[in-house]
Structure 1
């Protein structure tokens, strides 16, 4: 065993090799990582070999049969992710001491807010970038439970999630809302049904698709006694199930609008079955936010302040 391995001394070269290793894993292999890393496959392979040599561990299998992590590779990946987060936080704190607005702000959201007229996230990003052009923004879509866990754990600075069941470890700043309606697809038996012939009790006989994460969608479906025959983790998947003509599901009106206009999706009893969801920016209470994350939050709140309606955690039917 090489007792002078990376585990006892870590430098910039080692951190670079760990970043390359992490990128290869995220891309799913060496070939896919070429574009992301902007270096050739043979060079990437050499970097991985150098890292394995420095660690004195075999991290992955790579060859004609494909790319896969070894058990040791899985463990090193988790340790590398924690290390790289710590390095990023260290650099952010040092830059704050130097009063420079540089670093990274990590934001995740659940809803498909690009088409929501109440959401001003894009405008907030525009204004933030003007104020802090050197700060890199990492924006992703994640399930709400994952967002909460990552914000609490420090992997995310801000999570935009539905106000539903607040966590005692997070604080919430209300932003915008959306209206949720029940929809069916063109080939569904209810598509051509007259509303005068329907009541809420008639809906329960049909298959329902809902989110399988703790959310207003889950609670409303249970309250209405719907028979959930399919479950998903995002609204785009719900739209696909609705369009199949085999399921009913709730969607935001702004997301469903383009399908309704094409007459391939229809609201079901919109005056009787609907609810409204409010979204908020969630941040962890301790430790405090970095300067760049605080600036992003301030800009985000300012962009939505005219539309804030107050906080509530349960959807209304």
Structure 2
């Protein structure tokens, strides 16, 4: 029996919010805290949505949670729907000189302690205006920030990753100093830079960063690598074993350097300034919320850069 898709009403919007949360939490159990609902209630809501649409949206079982092909279509349509609803609220509020709606920001990990990170100052600037904006922030791997902006799961991103994704706008916020490190248990730890040869470095096992492209990785082409890290913290843990060397942000590594369990390897050769970007979607008419907060990020970036220079 064919089931027509009914006109959307308030109930459908509520059920779609549940479905979106379950999808992004990758399961019913993980979505309980996010939604503030019990698993049985979530299950009922998803079943109700499937009944209303006449579609099987997801599968859950011993192998885990996954969307059906139809569920993936509904999820992507849900992102577009909520984006348009938020855009409507923002546009109408803007016509009254108000900031209203929802703003979602994703940032890469371990940048809160960077004195050049403009996010905290930008938040203060944004909140100095009278507004009723609900801001959601998330910390994810660097390359996931780009994908989140691209897919519409977030409005703005702050990341050191730059992939060839069409439709994204990259504006440099600041540079993060990163260096090549080894741990105190590594054979190179007590070797001076002048005593390190290229042959020595060809023997190391390098931590390859899975969140940057090979073209972005600052390593010699003949360095060995048997491990891949998707997070800065995982890179640190590999390095601390004494079996690997790898790149880390200097501001993040400082505490372990002070403890004497990390050191830089030939910083004159291997330390670089890595750009951190503000990422947004290319648009001829970006939402007032996105453009306002992006401008605040850029203004704060310039302010911090001037402070650093003086």
Q: TM-score, normalised by structure 2?
A: 0.84
1:253 and 2:247 aligned: no
CA gap of 1:243–1:172, structure 2 versus 1, over 3 A, is: same
Deviations 1:148-177, CA, capped at 9 Å, x for gaps: 444355443322233867877444433221
Within-5 A mapping of 1:72-111? 72-110=70-108
Q: 3-state SS of the aligned residue for 2:112?
A: helix
Deviations 1:80-129, CA, capped at 9 Å, x for gaps: 23322332223322332333211122222335211212223212212322
- In the other structure, the counterpart of 1:294 is 291
- In the other structure, the counterpart of 2:267 is 270
Q: 3-state SS of the aligned residue for 2:179?
A: strand
Q: 3-state SS of the aligned residue for 2:99?
A: coil
Deviations 1:169-196, CA, capped at 9 Å, x for gaps: 4444332212111101122111233444
Please tell me whether the aligned partners of residues 174 and 308 of structure 1 are also in contact (alpha carbons under 8 angstroms): no
Question: Aligned equivalents of 2:65 and 2:213: distance in 1?
Answer: 36
Question: Aligned equivalents of 1:50 and 1:261: distance in 2?
Answer: 57
1:40 and 2:38 aligned: yes
Tell me the matched-pair count.
Answer: 306
CA gap of 1:98–1:59, structure 2 versus 1, over 3 A, is: same
Corresponding residue to 2:173 among 171, 175, 180? 175
- Give unpaired runs (5+ residues) of structure 2: none
Please tell me whether the aligned partners of residues 209 and 217 of structure 2 are also in contact (alpha carbons under 8 angstroms): no
- In the other structure, the counterpart of 1:240 is 237
- In the other structure, the counterpart of 2:187 is 189
Structure 1 residues 15-24 or 36-45, which shifts more?
Answer: 36-45
CA gap of 1:66–1:146, structure 2 versus 1, over 3 A, is: closer
Structure 1 residues 176-185 or 33-42, which shifts more?
Answer: 33-42
Please tell me whether the aligned partners of residues 29 and 67 of structure 1 are also in contact (alpha carbons under 8 angstroms): yes
Offset of residue 246 of structure 1: 1.1
Question: Aligned equivalents of 1:252 and 1:132: distance in 2?
Answer: 36
Please tell me whether the aligned partners of residues 110 and 234 of structure 1 are also in contact (alpha carbons under 8 angstroms): no
Please tell me whether the aligned partners of residues 207 and 235 of structure 2 are also in contact (alpha carbons under 8 angstroms): yes
Please tell me whether the aligned partners of residues 162 and 215 of structure 1 are also in contact (alpha carbons under 8 angstroms): no
Structure 1 residues 21-30 or 213-222, which shifts more?
Answer: 213-222
Structure 1 residues 61-70 or 248-257, which shifts more?
Answer: 61-70
Please tell me whether the aligned partners of residues 98 and 130 of structure 2 are also in contact (alpha carbons under 8 angstroms): no
RMSD of aligned residue pairs (Cα, Å): 3.0
Q: TM-score, normalised by structure 1?
A: 0.82
- In the other structure, the counterpart of 1:136 is 134
CA gap of 1:217–1:109, structure 2 versus 1, over 3 A, is: farther
Question: Aligned equivalents of 2:208 and 2:214: distance in 1?
Answer: 10
Structure 1 residues 238-247 or 89-98, which shifts more?
Answer: 89-98
Offset of residue 67 of structure 1: 5.1
Question: Aligned equivalents of 1:77 and 1:284: distance in 2?
Answer: 19
Question: Aligned equivalents of 2:120 and 2:58: distance in 1?
Answer: 39
Please tell me whether the aligned partners of residues 143 and 162 of structure 2 are also in contact (alpha carbons under 8 angstroms): no
